Amino acid sequence: MHLTAYGKALPGAGLFRSKNLLVMKLTAILVVAACLEAGAKGYSQPITLSMKDAPLQKVLSAIEKQSGVNFIYGKDLISHAAPVSIDVSAVTLIAALDMVFKNQPIEYKISDNYIVLSPKPPQLSRAQSTFKGSDIHGRVTDSTGAPLAGASVTVKGTRKGTSTDANGNYELKNVEENATLVISFTGYIAQEIKLNGKNTIDVALFHSTSQLDQVQVIAYGTTTARLNTGNVTTITSEEIGNQPVANPLLALEGRVPGMDIVQQTGFPNGGVSVQIRGLNSIAAGTAPLYIVDGIPYSTTSSSTSLLGYGLTSNADLLNPLNFLNPLDIESIDILKDADATGIYGSRGANGVVLITTKKGKSGKTKIDVNLSTGTSQVGHFMNLLNTKQYLAMRREAFANDSLVPTINSAPDLFSWDTTKYTNWQKQFIGGTAHNANAQISISGGNKNTQFLISGNYLKVGTVFPGDFSDKRGSANISFNNISDNQKFKSVISVNYLNENNNQPLYDPTPATTISPNVPNLIDSNGNLLWPAHVRDNPYADIRNSYILTSNNLISHGSLSYQILPTLEILTDLGFSRTALAEITTFPIEANNPIYGVTTGSSNFANNSVQTWNIEPQLNWIKHIGFSKIGILIGTTFLQTLESGSVINATGYTNDDLLKDINSAGQLTSGGTSYSLYRYNSFFGRANYNFNDKYLINLTGRRDGSSRFGPGNQFANFGAIGAAWIFSNETFLKENLSFLSFGKIRGSYGTTGNDQIPDYGYQQLFGSTGYSFQNSTTFYPINLANPTFGWEKDKKLEIGVNLGFMNDRILFAADWYQNRSGNQLVNYALPPSVGLSFIQGNLPALVQNTGVEISLNTINVGNSIFKWTSSFNISIPRNKLISYPNIKSSPYEYTYAVGKSLYIQQRFHSLGVDPTTGIYKYQDIDGSGTGLDYPGDLQPLKQIAKNFYGGLQNSLSIYGFQLDFLFQFVKQTGNNALFTTSNTQPGGESNQLTEVLSRWQKPGDNTNVQKFTTGGGAGFPAYLAFAYGRSLGDNEIGDASFIRLKNIALSYRLPQKIIQKAKLQQARIFIQAQNLFTLTSFKGLDPESNGVFALPPLKTINAGFQLTF
């Protein structure tokens, strides 16, 4: 018997090596051999073989002998085959063949009495093996030539596809010569390229201009609005940069659906309250989680100010984001639903704010200079009584009370000049604050290393009389490096800010309602005067100062290594430190000389919050045909250490030395603070994307927090999110061509909350700070409750995103429902227990639901004129769903089941009694004893937002660009009539002109009660007003407003001029914040209306930006 082989020699043993496999050409795979001789004993012949490490050829010969079949093969095929060990007896031919070729790169085919051997085809191409295909390779880059790793390259109309490696390279096997490649990458415009026989296809992708393709930073990664399964709103550096604000949060007002931001005060570095999608927690923190460059940023700002007043007297907190320069921020992404926040588990209940700082980009080194300066003022003053009206009011009040005014009871009528008028609003808050902002940044780099260094100086003045200012210097440094083999990546960024803030200790705004004829309180040299019958001189209060020096460092490193093309190991390392040095000074001169105070005092506080975290992660991404699978696992270790101390210094004899601790007569400790927080978690995420059509995202997390007692530290959280991009369905594409984009999203998951003080589970004792006969003394500070655990929040969301006319109109609507149970509260105890509070869980369930709608349109979009609009509205609703046994809880008179947490239980006002002229309240408990507290409280009104949002327009023509944002809020707030003045109408302080419509005689119908001094027969009227002020629902009124929050006009100098000046870019701009407000609110400001404080200021800035 003869074997004849012919044709091209076949590649042999190397088949298993992937390299050879890839190199191998399909056209050379198969040789069909004819068989010249045949002998047949039949397939049924049993085969018995016993051989060890025998050459394949020998084995085949044995089979030929026993079965009578003939093998046909190429010579090389056999010669490269592995030796065979086999031991079978009396098996079928097929079984024997299977065993023989099991580990061989060879497959067989039985045809009559011949068995044809051929190399096994490579697996990838087995399904569509074709004789006409060829291998395609190439590189995908962005428009600057930088490689795009992970770009998707698919063959149109097939399941064949791959993704690029770290260098942007890809390879596709066995592609038909006339196929079309589709190259796509997140945030870039996809391209389709016909092969036309070419084997090498290099592609440069351009950034997508569609908003849907803007990169969104999400937890541990990025995505786009198009592909996101969660709810994320992105604010870019451009929007932030248009606004002359010192706190980046203020740049978000009116722009983010579902995010309720309130600037509490116009003080630089004052408090800003932020709530994302409502009040989830009755008593635990409601602050979102802030993450700067992947590093959680401590916002427990209550612990950052030890002196705790001054700037914070009205606005509860210093906001730590003041310590971040807005111009250093590349983007802020707000994560709202369970899908987006789920991976932050325990800390995501109140939403997550991801802040990404600016990074360098490869290219020519660029220097960017941005200078601006401007002024700020109080935008709107109250209408207060003039002296004549004021004195008439006072006289009427005395008459009403049947009292005869005396010099002591009415110095304004007898002691002070009754013709004098001073506009105290102008005096105390009517100044003009100047500000100056200078930013320079240098950035550049090559393909391996990019850098950015920037420095900023900002000085903001105040509107108060006196020499006050807030000065900040900051630096931002960022380095990115990638190794030559593109496998090892490192990112290092350091952000530093130093602030020197010198402000009056107390907000002088409440002093604006002192009597208009109070004598001069300072002389022409600014010396304090103490006229007769003036107890407090507000100028003296302004001499008490608050000096804050803060140093804020945020550093972040990220190291990653590409172990396999699909697998990356990565570690985020972060360290941040906020150090505050606060001084409050009480100079001798600020005391009324009649008190004979001869010494001054100061308080010194030093405090730091230091956080480190380590987050190792493994990230696996695999493209299989149209499918993309991503799996991320990781762990977090985080520690926050806060410590500080206060020293009270007294006995200063010289006001100039108040800031020197060494010049004090006596020093005593004002206490120390210390708290350690540790947090540990394991998290994982799996996402699956099929052909950009069906997306599913699963996250899970196990979190442990040191804020809970042993045994309660760990809890599990998880979320699922899914999206269907139905516009990518062929049948819709063909039938609904006007619809360029359509997505339905849904997510559900659990998150948690541990925003409570540390050590709540331990009984603790602290030093009183004073010694008794030279021994330390202690007192109990904490009741122990070892049993409380995590607050859990269940979030459900359904959303739809639609794009029309090639995404020129983008519409998004979301409905959400958050339910928080196991509420963590600092449970109020009856004071007789000895300590007022204990940390614990409440069996209450709080629900926040809402609808958020946003609409972005490109109204005109040609190369000369572009006009875009964006509108958003949020309609939040809050409800206390259940609270078992609320009647016997400390919240009986605070909340009501079925009502919102914003409810106010108050006496219900029935208006001014036309007979008596004083406020009447509803007596519902029928006690017969008149108005009872708490028996007559009713949960009828709430102080809350009904809806809010913003309308932004951007217009550009030639080099001009105009952006303006209207913010609108429909809300209830405090009625200024009750909150702005220190006394009731008729008392010794000025009032809103609204009081002129007061009740005067029986039969008058009005909403302002009669004037009263509060004494004598006026006591009931005084009481009725005092009720209104704190307990009556007549103190709640409308505080809705529409505000031109921001307007920015800029002009980009023409290219010709720029080139002459050897510049890359030059731009001049004017920006204004809070320019005007439409409101029926009578106080200074409807936004911060809960408090009578310096309102957010109106700021107008002008400046220029040059890029070299």
Q: Which of residues 553-582 bind another protein (CB under 8 A)?
A: 559, 561, 569, 571, 573
Find the part of the chain contacting another protein (CB under 8 A) among 161-169, 418-426, 537-545, 678-686. 678-686
CB burial readout 196-206, b (16+ within 10 A) else e: eeeeebebbbe
Please identify, using beta-carbon distances, which residue of 39 and 766 lies nearer to another protein.
766
Find the part of the chain contacting another protein (CB under 8 A) among 71-79, 309-317, 761-769, 791-799. 761-769
Please identify, using beta-carbon distances, which residue of 834 and 928 lies nearer to another protein.
834
Q: Kindly write out the interface string for residues 934-973 of this chain, putting x where it contacts another protein by CB under 8 A and - elsewhere.
A: x---------------------------------------
> According to CB under 8 A, which residues from 1002 to 1021 bind another protein?
1019
Both structure tokens of 905: 């239980």
Check residue 662 for interaction with another protein (CB under 8 A): no
Find the part of the chain contacting another protein (CB under 8 A) among 455-463, 476-484, 944-952, 1060-1068. 476-484
Check residue 771 for interaction with another protein (CB under 8 A): yes
Check residue 414 for interaction with another protein (CB under 8 A): no
Q: How many CB atoms lie within 10 A of CB 789?
A: 19
Minimum distance, C-beta of residue 299 to another protein, in the bound complex (Å): 20
Minimum distance, C-beta of residue 773 to another protein, in the bound complex (Å): 6
Find the part of the chain contacting another protein (CB under 8 A) among 48-56, 239-247, 728-736, 771-779. 771-779
CA distance 296 to 639: 10
Q: Which of 4, 776, 787, 1080 binds another protein (CB under 8 A)?
A: 776
Check residue 486 for interaction with another protein (CB under 8 A): no
Q: Which of 200, 737, 773, 863 binds another protein (CB under 8 A)?
A: 773
Check residue 829 for interaction with another protein (CB under 8 A): yes
Q: How many CB atoms lie within 10 A of CB 493?
A: 26
Please identify, using beta-carbon distances, which residue of 618 and 732 lies nearer to another protein.
618
CB-count burial class (<10 Å; 0-12, 13-18, 19+) for 630? middle
Torsion of Cα atoms, 828 then 830 then 831 then 835, to 10°? -50
Q: Sign (positive/negative) of CA torsion 901, 907, 909, 912?
A: negative
Site size toward another protein, by CB under 8 A:
85
Check residue 893 for interaction with another protein (CB under 8 A): yes
Which three-class secondary structure string do you get for 674-692? EEEEEEEEEEEEEEEEECC
Nearest to 755 by CA among 298, 333, 232: 298
Which three-class secondary structure string do you get for 532-545? CCCCCCHHHHHHCE
Check residue 48 for interaction with another protein (CB under 8 A): no
Please identify, using beta-carbon distances, which residue of 28 and 833 lies nearer to another protein.
833
DSSP string, 203-267: EEEPBP-SGGGSEEEETTEEEETTT-SS-EEEEEHHHHHTS--SSGGGGGTTTSTTEEEEE--SS
Q: Which of 442, 1026, 1049, 1070 binds another protein (CB under 8 A)?
A: 1026
User: In what helix (H) or strand (E) does residue 396 lie, and over which residues does it extend?
Assistant: helix 387-400
Check residue 402 for interaction with another protein (CB under 8 A): no
Adjacent-strand bridge partners of 801: 743, 812
Q: How many CB atoms lie within 10 A of CB 430?
A: 16
Check residue 606 for interaction with another protein (CB under 8 A): no
CA distance 572 to 1043: 41
Please identify, using beta-carbon distances, which residue of 632 and 810 lies nearer to another protein.
632
Residue 346 per-residue DSSP state: G
CA–CA distances in Å: residue 577 to residues 247, 642, 643:
18, 10, 11
Both structure tokens of 1027: 């009720």
- Helix, strand, coil tally for the chain in percent (to 5): 15, 45, 40
Please identify, using beta-carbon distances, which residue of 84 and 521 lies nearer to another protein.
521
Minimum distance, C-beta of residue 996 to another protein, in the bound complex (Å): 25
Minimum distance, C-beta of residue 931 to another protein, in the bound complex (Å): 10
Please identify, using beta-carbon distances, which residue of 287 and 646 lies nearer to another protein.
646
CA–CA distances in Å: residue 17 to residues 20, 24, 669, 698:
6, 11, 75, 36
User: In what helix (H) or strand (E) does residue 66 lie, and over which residues does it extend?
Assistant: helix 56-67
Check residue 408 for interaction with another protein (CB under 8 A): yes
Check residue 764 for interaction with another protein (CB under 8 A): yes
Adjacent-strand bridge partners of 771: 776
Question: Which residue type occupies 377?
Answer: Q
Check residue 650 for interaction with another protein (CB under 8 A): yes
> According to CB under 8 A, which residues from 432 to 461 bind another protein?
448
Please identify, using beta-carbon distances, which residue of 163 and 636 lies nearer to another protein.
636
> According to CB under 8 A, which residues from 608 to 647 bind another protein?
614, 616, 635, 637
Check residue 787 for interaction with another protein (CB under 8 A): no
Q: Are 495 and 324 in contact (CB under 8 A)?
A: yes
Q: Which of 14, 157, 665, 1054 binds another protein (CB under 8 A)?
A: 665
Minimum distance, C-beta of residue 977 to another protein, in the bound complex (Å): 18
Please identify, using beta-carbon distances, which residue of 681 and 820 lies nearer to another protein.
681
Q: Which of 46, 444, 473, 890 binds another protein (CB under 8 A)?
A: 890
Adjacent-strand bridge partners of 480: 450, 491
Minimum distance, C-beta of residue 790 to another protein, in the bound complex (Å): 12
CA distance 919 to 985: 12
Q: Which of 52, 730, 770, 926 binds another protein (CB under 8 A)?
A: 770
> According to CB under 8 A, which residues from 679 to 738 bind another protein?
679-680, 704-706, 710, 713-714
